[in-house]
Every structure is written in C-alpha cells, then in structure tokens.
Chains A and B, each alone.
Chain A
Amino acid sequence: MNWGQIVYGTVACFVALLGIAIIFDVPPKKLPWAMLGSLISCVIMLIGDQLGIDPLITNMAATALPCVYCEIMARVLKTPTTIFMIPALLPLVPGSRLYYTMFYLFSGEQQLFMENMLAAVKICTGIAMAIIVVTGAVRWIEAGKRQRAQNAR
C-alpha cells in the first residue's frame, strides 16, 4: 500500500471539500462535523483504491459508513441529515469517469466511451444501494420506535 498517495489524496480531498461545504452553505457551527464525515468517506475510498478492491464494494462501504455517521450526528445535534450527507458523499462522485465518458464520446472512441460510462454507472449504483440500505434501516428503526411509543400510550 502506498501511504504517501493516501495522505496526498486525503489532504487534497479535504481542502476541496472544505471549499465545497462553504459553497453549499453548510452552517459554520456544523462545519467541523460535516468535514469529519467527508474525511471518513475519502479515506475509505483511497484505501479501497490502493488495495484494488472492486469499485462497487469500495463505493458502497465509502457511502454506508459516512451515512451511518450522518444519521447519528443529525440526531445528536438535532439538525437535518442532508447537512452532513452532501459533503460526505461528494468525494464519491466519479468525476474523472464522467469526464472521460464525455471526452471519449466527443473524440469518437466507442470502446473507451462504453467502458468509462459503465464504470461510472457502476459507482453510482454502489452509492445508491448503500444509501437505500442505510436510509431504509434508519426509517425501519424509527417506525418501530414510533409504534412502540403508540402501544405504550
């Protein structure tokens, strides 16, 4: 594993996400907590890449863990989940895949175009699946809690 590359990537990503968080108007007081979430997803992504794990799995893990963190923080700090979710999920956006999809479309290289597009779709599927699982689990637990509270009344 190339630790230098992981550190370099993490620092670059952290700086970039600080900028993104400010552009998306994350409340100043919640900024450190939001950044911690994005740090988690960023580090998981980079380590997964270095170990050569399938991008689908890496992206699922890099989405699911920060999502759990976001749901917990949202409840602890009593704020909407979205505030932590957006900065945490942004490093996963397959920017380079999307760019090369566009690039090869315009330069007319069918094979590479398909390859990059499918890779991008795969990554997005991984992210979406992880969001479904976590959000679904949270709603399930909440519904159970509400029902128990009603029964107790």
Chain B
Amino acid sequence: MCYTFVVEISFSEGELSMTEQISSTVLPYDYDDVLDTILDIGCRLLEAGAEVRRVEDTVERLCFAYGAHDVDVFSIVVLVGVTVEGPNGDHYTQIRKVGSIGNSLVRIEKLNALSRRLCACPEDPWEVKDEVKRICAKKTYSDFLMLISAAIAAGGFAMFFGGSWTDGLVAAIIGVLIMVLSLYTPAKVNGTLKTFVTAFVAGAAALGACAFVPNTSPGEIMIGTIMLMIPGLALGTSLRDLFGGDMVSGLLRFVQASFTAAIIAAGYGLAWLTFGGVL
C-alpha cells in the first residue's frame, strides 16, 4: 500500500511540471504496469526462440512508444532486464527470467505483429497482457498433425539421404514415436534426460526394425530420425546472435545446441553399442 502511494505522488508531481516543459503525452497508465506488459512480450518472444537482438529491439521500441525518455535493455538467453526513464522522469526497473525455451515461429510472428501495432498506437496494458496470454495459449497445429508431420519429416529425410522406400517407411514410424515422446512427456522432466532417452529409443527402434524388416539399413533410418531432433532453430538463432554482436547470448546458445547434439549422439551411440552387436 505504502509503495503505490509513493508512486502516485511522484507521478502527479511529474505531470504538473511536465505539462509546461515538454509537450509529449503523459499516459493515463501506471508505468509499472506498462513495463510489466512490455516485458511479458519480450519474455514470450525469448521463450518462442527469438534472437536476443529482436527481443531487445522490441522492448526498446515499445518503451519509447509508451512515452519513455530513455531505455536501457539487457537480455541474454534466459533473462530480460530493463531500466526506463518514464514519461514523468521517474526510473523504473524490472527483470524477468525465462523458464524454458521452445521453438514456435508462429508465436514470434504474432508477437512481432502485436508489437508493431502497439508501436504505432499504444493500447491499455492490461488488455495487451490478456492478448499476449491468448497468443501463447493457442496451438497452431493439432497433435495429430504434429504426429503426421514428424512421420513425413523423418521418412522424407531418410530417403533424401539415400535410403530406400522401406527405410523411409520405418523412419516415418520411428518419427511418430519420437513425436509421441516429445509431446506426452511431463513438462518437468529434465530436457537433457528427455533428449537422451528419445535418442536412445529411436536408435534402438531403428536397429530392431532392421533385424526384422528386409531391405533396410539402420544408417539411413537413423539419419532420417536424427534430423527431427537436431537443434536447428537454436543453432540458427545462435549464429544470428553471434553476428549481431550479442556475444554472450550467441555463445550460450551455441554451447547449448552443441551439447544437445552431443547428447543425441550419445543416445544413438549407446543404442548402437547395446544392440548393434546383438542384432
């Protein structure tokens, strides 16, 4: 209670002195709420796998659009922090930590469109907050479609890298298996462990299938299924971060992606060591 009281006083004082000095519009919202909403957008962008440069840029533009005089944003892979000199001359600081990083290009696109709209014409922060929530809750493609696409992706890549029709079919079935594992494991399971188990299961399934299905080679099947798991978005983003000058984020993401790749190799390798000789 005490806190809001102080803020209100400084807000109205600032407003009084500002009306004469600067002609910029003083917004009818509390700037803490505005900042909260802006960081919400930044945070969700990071979660969807956007580059750090994009996040910093978006937050900065939005703050200026909401009447800030000065903005300092700092973001790394899992954190966004911002200090803003508000329209009334007060300074506001908020830091937000991001939980998990996924890959959802449609979210990046929608949040980007939202921030463009807000930059052109600022809206009520509470309504924007609801809209952000709605954007992130919505699934673009159904689970069934995800399973189908995993199948055609794994099968297609197996054939692209020189496999036969039967290789493609087996890879497609294992692709579905990988997608089931990634869709239906509890969210709290450690990401590294999940990757390792998925890689091991996929490798073992490929070797098992080769023992029973004629005219198949485990190599092509495994290559096809590996393509599903390779951290492509993370690697691409890390490169764009690095060359955009965000060394810390670029390196962090690069190490993360390399580590994931190593874990995938370890999973397939263990499957090969365990079952490769037996079958």
Q: Are B149 and A102 in contact (CB under 8 A)?
A: no
* B-contact bits for A71-112, CB 8 A (1 contact / 0 none): 000000011101101100111010110111111011000000
Bound Cα distance A79, B107 (Å): 11
Bound Cα distance A99, B104 (Å): 26
Q: Are B149 and A23 in contact (CB under 8 A)?
A: yes
CB within 8 Å of B: which A111-153 residues? 128, 131-132, 135-136, 139
With A12-B159, A93-B232: A131-B105 Cβ-Cβ less than 8 Å: no
CB within 8 Å of A: which B148-181 residues? 148-157, 159-162, 168, 175, 179
Bound Cα distance A22, B222 (Å): 21
What distance in Å separates the Cβ of A34 from its nearest Cβ neighbour in chain B? 9
User: Does chain A have a CB within 8 A of B118?
Assistant: no
Bound Cα distance A56, B219 (Å): 24
Bound Cα distance A9, B153 (Å): 13
Q: Are A22 and B146 in contact (CB under 8 A)?
A: yes
With A22-B149, A23-B153, A82-B50: A95-B226 Cβ-Cβ less than 8 Å: yes
With A80-B112, A89-B236, A105-B269: A15-B152 Cβ-Cβ less than 8 Å: yes
Given contacts A18-B153, A82-B105, 8 further A-B contacts (CB under 8 A): A13-B156, A16-B224, A18-B156, A19-B175, A23-B179, A25-B106, A26-B106, A103-B219
User: Does chain A have a CB within 8 A of B97?
Assistant: no
A16 / chain B contacts, CB cutoff of 8 Å:
152-157, 159-160, 224, 227
B residues at A contact (CB < 8 Å)? 49-51, 54, 103-110, 112-113, 116, 140-141, 145-146, 148-157, 159-162, 168, 175, 179, 219, 222-224, 226-228, 230, 232-233, 236-237, 239-240, 243-244, 261, 265, 268-269, 272-273
Between-chain CB contacts (< 8 Å), 23 pairs: A20-B232, A22-B149, A23-B149, A25-B104, A25-B105, A26-B105, A27-B140, A79-B113, A80-B54, A82-B105, A85-B236, A85-B240, A86-B232, A90-B227, A91-B160, A95-B157, A95-B161, A95-B227, A96-B223, A98-B230, A103-B272, A131-B239, A131-B240
Q: Which of A30, A96, A131 contacts B109 (CB 8 A)?
A: A30
A3 / chain B contacts, CB cutoff of 8 Å:
none
Q: Are B223 and A27 in contact (CB under 8 A)?
A: no
Q: Are B150 and A23 in contact (CB under 8 A)?
A: yes
B103 / chain A contacts, CB cutoff of 8 Å:
24-25
* Number of residue pairs A-B, CB distance < 8 angstroms: 157
A82 / chain B contacts, CB cutoff of 8 Å:
49-51, 54, 105, 108, 233, 236-237, 240
Q: Which of B106, B151, B265, B273 contacts A19 (CB 8 A)?
A: B151
A residues at B contact (CB < 8 Å)? 8-9, 12-28, 30, 78-80, 82-83, 85-86, 89-91, 93, 95-96, 98-103, 105-106, 128, 131-132, 135-136, 139
A139 / chain B contacts, CB cutoff of 8 Å:
244
With A86-B232, A106-B269: A12-B146 Cβ-Cβ less than 8 Å: no
- Main secondary structure on A side of the interface with B: helix
Q: Which of B105, B150, B223, B240 contacts A83 (CB 8 A)?
A: B105
Q: Are B109 and A98 in contact (CB under 8 A)?
A: no
A100 / chain B contacts, CB cutoff of 8 Å:
219
What distance in Å separates the Cβ of B270 from its nearest Cβ neighbour in chain A? 9
Q: Are A86 and B243 in contact (CB under 8 A)?
A: no
A86 / chain B contacts, CB cutoff of 8 Å:
105, 232-233, 236
B222 / chain A contacts, CB cutoff of 8 Å:
99
